[in-house]
Chains A and B, each alone.
Chain A
Amino acid sequence: MMKLRSLLPLLGLALLLLQGCMADEPANAECDIEKCWVHFDAPENIFYHDYDTLAGEPISVDRPNDKMIPTSVDSIVFTTRWDAQVVGNVPLFIEVTKGAKLFHLVDGQEVPFVSGTPVDLSATAVDEHAEQRFIVRSEDGKWSRTYRISIQVPHMPSYPPGGFLFKFDGYALNKGNQYYVWDETNPFLSDTQWANGNPGFRMSKSSAKPEEYPTVAVADGGVDGGPCLKLTTRDTGGFGLYVNMRIAAGNHFIGSFDVGQALNGQTGALAATRFGQPFTHKPTRLTGYYKFTPGEVKQDRAGKPMDEQDICDIYCVFYKNTDAEGNQVQLDGANILSSENIVGLARLKSEDVDTHGDRWLPFDLPLVYTTEVTEEDVKEAHYSMTICFSSSIDGAYFRGAVGSELWIDEVTLECEY
């Protein structure tokens, strides 16, 4: 048996050879702006919150002041107070992917940019077409991304008689012509962002046509014969199973959708829906029109049939967007209806939902305040507001009936001021 042992090193050698073949580490191919912030000596004159000097989204609830630029973003915007005056050059700080090189586009020339260099962003504050462009080139030299950086000064807040009307008329297909996206057409709230889970659905089911997504526009389906929203709980088909997300409820809400988190399990999916935007009015009532038809079989996350009917969800939440230490608070799917920061809530009761779905029905939901708010705080943007529609009430937990359909149109948010 001695000779057998002499054979074994041969086998070992073969395996070692595989390890020995390991090549040098390739240079980084990524080229993102990861963090971006501006410096003002008196930020309180420019921004509602100190954390607004930092662009992007909080990395997690535990690190509220550690913000990252989402990788889907190529336009970095600092939103100021409506009455902010931005003059002169502002020190601009930019962190890019390790190894990547950053350039400032000046008169068509790429000039290497040192983070902290003052940049004139004042023009971007008054002219929405003005921009400062930056180019990030990857360490391996093969990839690049171009970013726009700007300051956005919102319009002076004013409350239109009758409330803010959302007709969902401003829709188009996304860049890749895969799914619908919406632009707010309400002139009083032009910087309001409506978001939904369509970008996540695309990851799972790239073969879907725009009409087969969970959130779609119906051009002439509205209560007034115009466009409206149709939210449908869909089977995620393709890869939903790989990540144990069998269904996707149709949703539409004010806030943003972080598609980077969307496939990251239950925790990620809840974190992906970032609800609300700072809102300088005090909402009192949410009204609108809906039609709802439940899908046939409600299923749980494992795909097993559940012995209950699926139901839709409509709500409006008004919440305090800072914590006791002044840190940013952005509610997401995990706490949008349970957070202690919520001060006012309007929600359609499940038992009040008409499930025939054959005609448009009005809904009228007063906001119930559990904490009183002062006009001064509201006007200083200490609160954020979201409106959310979902075709399956437990959609965030992947429980719902495929085929549940919620139509929405002519939504009005009435406010006290």
Chain B
Amino acid sequence: MKLKTILLCAALSAQTSIMAQTEDRFEAWGPTNQETQTGWILRAGYVLGGTTPIPLPAEIRRIHEFKPLGGATLGADFYHMFNRRWGLQVGWHFFYEGFHTGAKVKNYRMGITKDGNYLEGNFTGTDETDTKMLGATVPLTATLRMSPRWNVSAGPFVSMLYYKTFEGKVYDGYLREGNPTGQKVEMTRDNPANYDFKDNMLNCYWGLEVLFDWKAMKHMNVFGGLDWAFSSVFPGDFQTVEFKMFPIYAKVGVAYRY
């Protein structure tokens, strides 16, 4: 909710600052094809973000490492304007995104299953995760020319994954097997327990995309936005990671408009 408020404030302030300017310059946005009121935007950008439980559970005590492992997006949007300000936009954005997190957890419920075997319990210690995803996002957004310089588009998206990893290790701590009264299983830094849950990941997820475009040059936009997933990358019956894990990625880049 907080984020939405911030986005709204940002949108409003941009709106008011531009009221003074002449409305004629809206035309400069396009569309390319005046007859059909349609146009294309090609985008290239940098992606930054992670896959995280929202809200953060109390069991996660501290995130001491957060490192993007590179991220990029390349895509195109096709839009149709209904009037001078409003339109509908559909896109196809290839993306690659990765991140590394290290977190201190306390009494963190976890379990591992493999080949019919399971080990579950409450882990206290350090958890490190590397996630990489290569896929395509298809957003369907309403687009609004807020001003001659600013455009915002928002709407749902679906992401499909072609390649994915979710691997990591737990160490510097211990697992209480079954529950907090169970056998303590020590895991030191030198001997982490490694895990790899890529096979448990879903191939698609959905969410909401918000994208701001700022017209920098005649054909060039600078854009920034957020893809906030509302569905977990793991199925609901996946016990290993007890929390729903939502990919949340910000992107910034340049767009060519024609």
Q: Which residues of A pack against B, CB within 8 Å?
A: 1, 3-4, 7-8, 10-11, 13-15, 17-19, 21-26, 28-32, 71-72, 138, 142-145, 199, 203-207, 237-239, 242-244, 259-268
Contacts and interface: CB of A to CB of B under 8 A. Distances in A.
B224 A4 contact: yes
A18 B52 contact: yes
B252 A267 contact: no
Nearest to A3: B214
> Interface majority SS on B: helix, strand, loop or mixed?
strand
Contacts of B179: 143
A21 B56 contact: yes
A262 to B, nearest CB: 7
8 contacts: A14-B248, A22-B60, A23-B56, A25-B58, A25-B106, A244-B191, A259-B185, A261-B186
Quick one: which of B52, B115, B185, B226 has the most chain A CB within 10 A?
B185
Q: List the 9 closest pairs (A to B, CB-CB), nearest first.
A: A265-B191, A238-B117, A23-B58, A29-B180, A7-B224, A71-B184, A11-B250, A207-B116, A21-B55
Given A207-B116, A238-B117, A31 B188 contact: no
Quick one: which of A71, A142, A267 has the most chain B CB within 10 A?
A71
B176 interface: yes
B47 to A, nearest CB: 11
A45 B52 CA distance: 61
B226 A14 contact: yes
Interface in B170-190: 174, 176-177, 179-188, 190
Contacts of A263: 185-187, 191, 193
A17 B3 contact: yes
Interface in B156-176: 174, 176
Given A3-B222, A21-B54, A71-B184, 17 more contacts: A10-B224, A11-B252, A13-B3, A17-B3, A30-B107, A145-B181, A203-B119, A207-B115, A239-B193, A242-B112, A242-B194, A242-B195, A243-B194, A260-B183, A264-B188, A266-B191, A268-B191
B103 to A, nearest CB: 10
Interface in B92-116: 106-107, 112, 114-116
A10 B10 contact: yes
Interface residues of B, number: 56
B114 A238 contact: yes
A11 B54 CA distance: 16
B253 to A, nearest CB: 10
Contact of A243 (B59, B174, B193): B193
A142 to B, nearest CB: 8
A4 B250 CA distance: 13
Interface of B: 2-3, 6-7, 10, 48, 52, 54-63, 66, 106-107, 112, 114-119, 122, 149, 174, 176-177, 179-188, 190-191, 193-195, 212, 214, 216, 222, 224, 226, 248, 250, 252
A238 B119 CA distance: 9
A22 B56 contact: yes
A142 B180 CA distance: 10
B187 A29 contact: no
A10 B10 CA distance: 9
A144 B179 CA distance: 11
Contact of A238 (B115, B184, B188, B214): B115
A243 B195 CA distance: 9
Nearest to A146: B181
A238 B52 CA distance: 27
Contacts of A17: 2-3
Contact of A265 (B57, B188, B248): B188
Quick one: which of B112, B117, B190, B250 has the most chain A CB within 10 A?
B117
